Chain A
Amino acid sequence: MDIDVVFQIAGVGIIVAILSQLLTKSDNKEAALMVTVAGLIVVFLMVVDEIRILFDTIKTVFRL
């Protein structure tokens, strides 16, 4: 659990936004969409790991 991951997510978001802008300007809208989806998947992988840890902790703490 680190604040660095927040900045990582923000960085990935900004890079994806810049790339998709560039690709849209060069008339390549499909590639722009693909880049956005790929970035979202990468970010979701980070977030899902954190959610798993949270759910495991809640399970053990409250004996659900």
Chain B
Amino acid sequence: MMYDIWTWIIFAVVGAVSALVLRQVNPAFSLCIGIFCACGILLGMMSSVSGLSDFLRTLSVQAGIDDDGFEVLLKALGVGYLTQFASDLCKDAGESALASSVETVGRVTIVCLAMEPASALLTMIGEMLKG
């Protein structure tokens, strides 16, 4: 399901206006509209991103880069999208403490993901220094 950019612009604006109208009546419902619209727009983006990531995978195979490092890169991208989504929603709900802790969790997760390639790199450097 692939829409063009105008669909998502209209989606975002309609969602924003509905949330604004509903905020005076019931703020929790306006937050729900925000969550729903954010989910929808990210879902629409994902069809493009999956094509892009397939293309990048093919490129990395053709360039002979080892697959593990590239997978870590894509996973870090996914973790980044997820944590930004969650922290923005928390900020919308007025919980900036939750938002910053979610961001911290995302950073730590990305560092943990990157630990394996980093240790491989350090081992390689150590072997080069020895030999």
Contact = CB atoms under 8 A, between A and B. Distances in A.
Interface of A: 1, 3, 5-7, 9-10, 12-14, 16-17, 36, 39-40, 43-44, 46-47, 50-51, 53-55, 57-64
B46 A57 contact: yes
**Chain A interface mostly:** helix
Contact of B32 (A36, A44, A60, A63): A44
Interface in B5-58: 10-11, 14-15, 18, 21-22, 25-26, 28-30, 32-33, 35-37, 39-40, 42-44, 46, 49-50, 53
Interface residues of B, number: 35
Given A54-B43, A64-B78, A6 B50 contact: no
A59 B25 CA distance: 36
A54 B14 CA distance: 20
12 contacts: A6-B14, A6-B15, A7-B18, A10-B29, A16-B29, A53-B39, A54-B46, A58-B81, A60-B50, A62-B75, A62-B79, A63-B74
